[in-house]
Amino acid sequence: MATKTDYELHEETSLKHPKKYKVYLLNDDYTSMEFVVDILMSIFHKSYEEAEAIMLAVHKHERGLCGVYTHEIAETKVMQVSRRAKESGFPLKATMEEE
Ligand code: TYC
């Protein structure tokens, strides 16, 4: 078989290893601890215990890892956090960065 083009190699490796993105929650002074725990349980599927530990870590260290996802899923989680926060009148934000 002829040598693969850069494009073919890229397609092959990106299908096998799609890039992953870390999603972080950011601390602020106004969002309630209870709301953050609820977000971690409902959007990031954490148990109550895990959610409380992540929330306290964010409160203490300014940001905390909520999960690692493909680009589309990470983007959706960030948007869901932003929509729920807005609806509830909290400034809570999530960010994503390539792993
Ligand atoms: N710092 C907030 C408070 O004292 C709690 C908080 C935790 C807010 C985590 C955002 O991502 C966050 N009420």
In this predicted model, what pLDDT tens digit does every residue of 41-66 receive, in sequence order?
A: 999 999 999 999 999 999 999 999 99
Question: Ligand 1 mean position to 64 CA, how many Å?
Answer: 11
Adjacent-strand bridge partners of 69: 21
Contact 71, 78 (CB under 8 A): no
In this predicted model, what pLDDT tens digit does every residue of 7-25 receive, in sequence order?
A: 999 998 888 999 999 999 9
Question: Ligand 1 mean position to 91 CA, how many Å?
Answer: 10
Q: Show the ligand 1 pocket: residues with CB < 6 angstroms.
A: 25-29, 31-33, 36, 55, 58-59, 92
Alpha helices per DSSP H over the chain = 6-16, 33-42, 48-61, 71-88
Q: What is the pLDDT, as a whole number, of residue 5?
A: 95
Residue identified by tokens 């493909």 is 70
**What domains, with CATH codes, occur in the chain?**
13-98 (3.30.1390.10)
ipTM of the complex: 0.98
Which atom of ligand 1 is found nearest the CA of 26? 11
Cβ atoms within 10 A of the Cβ of 71, count?
13
Q: What is the mean pLDDT of residues 27-46?
A: 98
Enter the pTM of the model.
0.91
Q: Is 93 helix (H, G, I), strand (E, B) or coil?
A: coil
